[in-house]
Structure 1
């Protein structure tokens, strides 16, 4: 499977889980705020991954760097959201510092996309 397809499939799954978390936050979460934030982070970043993947395929992002950046955003959003979701439903962390580590991956991914846009061959 190509990186493009993997990124798109993971983005679609992030959107699916994001919607499910938002619904669960409204109805069954012990801490709805954590669960809602987890769902929102997945929804927002799913859209980013889809759009940036299209921009990468169109030549508007430097390919190799964009692939790495998109992978970092996916990993970070999933890690961050998994930690918040677990806190929202069980009151326990996924593992120590999981959310901040996920946040750093997302930030790194966003910075990587910025550099990929600045260094793309297509203007």
Structure 2
């Protein structure tokens, strides 16, 4: 699915850009957000290259993407704007990422044979 490859490329680009920003402007929160984006970018590319993700794997990618937006968005807003996305956004994003990874793991058990 090209949308997952596109998402992986954008996550990777954002992760590299934020890593550079963190190195020059400081900020542990920015560095953490960059690392999470870079850690997850290859997953989205791999899922896109794998072809039809099915409901569980596709849902896992969606939940994982939502988790990244919440977690990284909250960290970046704290650093850049001295505000929060909403209370408990980062922990909610972290939980969503865990659930997304678990859904992707379960999709390996439910994959149809060819």
- The TM-score with structure 1 as length reference comes to 0.83
The corresponding residue for 1:53 is: 48
Q: How many residues align?
A: 114
Once the 2 structures are TM-superposed, how far is the Cα of residue 95 of structure 1 from its aligned partner? 1.5
Q: Which runs of 5+ in 2 are unaligned?
A: none
Partner of residue 74 from structure 1, selected from 51, 65, 79? 65
RMSD between aligned residues: 1.8
Residue 76 of structure 1 aligns to a residue whose secondary structure is helix
String of CA shifts for 1:91-119, please: whole Å, max 9, x gaps.
Answer: 32222111111111111110100110111
Contact 2:5 2:49 in 1 (8 A): no
The corresponding residue for 2:16 is: 19
Residue 87 of structure 2 aligns to a residue whose secondary structure is coil
Once the 2 structures are TM-superposed, how far is the Cα of residue 41 of structure 1 from its aligned partner? 0.3
Q: Which runs of 5+ in 1 are unaligned?
A: none
- The TM-score with structure 2 as length reference comes to 0.89
Contact 1:7 1:71 in 2 (8 A): no
